[in-house]
Amino acid sequence: MRANKGKDTGPELVVRRMLHAMGYRFRLHRRDLPGTPDIVFPSRRKAIQVHGCFWHGHGCKAGQLPKSRLEFWRPKIDANRERDERNLLALQADGWAVAIVWSCELRDLNKVQERLFLFLGKPTSPSLLL
Ligand SMILES: [Zn+2]
């Protein structure tokens, strides 16, 4: 299993393509912001984090820890979750609204699309999808 810390991971690309087709324009991986959010909408002061369920400890099936080497995995995943939480609070304290997209949610793209549309508001460019 590959760490989800690298740029341009599969799930993030899926979300980026979808947002682009919806007519949104955005910046990527703003290093000057807490946690270097994946997708940033500076003028809306909104950001989207795309989280892999395993590495970020989602409560879904894909987020379950393996039964073997639990003592190895648990501290890692716990540390990731704590860091995510710290970054989220820091962003919010700085006036940013943040939406988290879990990779398991991408099985239903229409639902994610609807949620992000509600989160972001009207796109800047004409949408190809809606
Ligand atoms: Zn999940």
**pLDDT, tens digit, 9 for 90 and up, residues 26-36:** 999 999 999 99
Q: What is the tens place of the pLDDT at every residue in 32-60?
A: 999 999 999 999 999 999 999 999 999 99
In this predicted structure, what is the pLDDT of residue 114?
96
Lateral strand order in the sheet of 27-28: 27-28, 39-41, 46-51, 97-102
Would strands 46-51 and 27-28 be described as parallel, antiparallel, or unpaired?
unpaired
**With bands split at pLDDT 50, 70 and 90, how would you rate the model's confidence at 1?**
very low
pLDDT at residue 9, as a whole number: 64
CA of 125 to the centre of ligand 1 (A): 30
R_g (Cα) of the chain, nearest Å: 15
pLDDT of residue 125: 81
Confidence at residue 76, expressed as pLDDT on a 0 to 100 scale: 95
Closest CA to 40 of 29, 52, 51: 29
Give the mean pLDDT of 81-92: 97
- Predicted TM-score (pTM) of the model is 0.87
Residue 55: Cβ within 10 Å count: 20
The Å distance, Cα 57 to ligand 1 centre, comes to 8
Q: How far is the CA of 9 from the centre of ligand 1 (A)?
A: 16
Position of tokens 């699309």?
Answer: 113
7 pLDDT exceeds 60? no
Q: Residues with beta carbon < 5 A to ion ligand 1?
A: 53, 58, 60, 102, 104
